[in-house]
A = this chain, B = another copy of it.
């Protein structure tokens, strides 16, 4: 039915708890005003999810849609080494969506925002005859000059990856099949519907200089190529070092690696750093009980990424191996 009263709807989705002290003007004016900390840079990113393109209602509840739309943006802040602080939401609403469902979208966002002590400071609600569109803007902060760029990879660097990869794609596979009710797959389904952005990992990486980073939104292959291109180097990833969960391996190694390399939406961090830094980073992550794995090395080169499988080396493309084309 869409929204009956726009003003009442905005009341419903406005933050209930008292908000951060950095907010000078919150929701309800022409724009929001926030006060930056001293010696702090501002991070800004924006990501859009379209019904039927990025999600289907059969696999994602309204709550999950909201949660994931915000998570994808927080992950971008994490990949810069930053702390997410504020978010703005634009929602384009078809008549087929009930107001209760729309409120659930915001509740999904609010749940995740609460974990990171973020505040909703603005946005827009408009109608459409097309599909639902959710556009989230997240603002974050990072100490001046400490932001992690994807252009800082250097020959000789170690390539690392947080957590495990491929799980989100496996989770989607399960949601689209009839195995959904099998509890042994719950963790994979959860990684698809409610991914956890790696803010803590990003913050630890930002303590070090000469770290490049990307978040895994499009699969390890695509993200590795982006680092290689931005840095003008060659990335060589050892397939057998890619961290996989035991759940994903129940689908067989070949399938698991395919999801890891080309699936995406894992929202882990891939990056590079010097061997000296790597030793310290590994220790620091172990102390915090955060998973991080060395998966390869950076060499001189011109913007390409390769997968090493034993003796064989294949060039990685954004959507598959070289030899698939």
Q: Which residues of A contact B (CB under 8 A)?
A: 2-6, 24-25, 28-36, 38, 40-50, 52-54, 75-77, 79-80, 82, 86, 88-90, 92, 94, 121-124, 126-131, 133, 135, 137-140, 142, 144-145, 147, 149-151, 213-215, 230, 322-324
Are A90 and B44 in touch, CB under 8 angstroms? no
Task: Report 11 cross-chain contacts, Cβ distance below 8 Å, ordered by A residue.
Answer: A3-B324, A31-B77, A33-B147, A34-B44, A35-B42, A46-B90, A48-B135, A50-B128, A50-B130, A92-B133, A128-B130
Q: How far is the CB of A296 from chain B (nearest CB, A)?
A: 20
Q: How far is the CB of A13 from chain B (nearest CB, A)?
A: 14
Q: How far is the CB of A255 from chain B (nearest CB, A)?
A: 27
Q: How far is the CA of A142 from the CA of B89 in the complex (A)?
A: 22
Number of copies: 2
Q: How far is the CA of A128 from the CA of B130 in the complex (A)?
A: 9
Q: How far is the CB of A131 from chain B (nearest CB, A)?
A: 5
With known contacts A31-B80, A127-B324, A90–B214 Cβ distance under 8 A:
no
Q: How far is the CB of A153 from chain B (nearest CB, A)?
A: 13
> Out of B28, B76, B128, B137, which one reaches A46, CB within 8 Å?
B137
> Out of B49, B122, B135, B230, which one reaches A44, CB within 8 Å?
B122
Q: How far is the CA of A88 from the CA of B135 in the complex (A)?
A: 11
Q: How far is the CB of A105 from chain B (nearest CB, A)?
A: 15
Which B residue's beta carbon lies closest to that of A137?
Answer: B137
9 A-B pairs besides A128-B130, A135-B135 with CB distance below 8 A are A30-B45, A30-B77, A30-B214, A36-B42, A42-B139, A46-B88, A49-B126, A128-B131, A133-B135
Q: How far is the CA of A243 from the CA of B128 in the complex (A)?
A: 34
Instruction: Report chain B residues within 8 Å CB of A90.
Output: 46-48, 90, 135
Q: How far is the CA of A80 from the CA of B130 in the complex (A)?
A: 33
Are A133 and B128 in touch, CB under 8 angstroms? yes
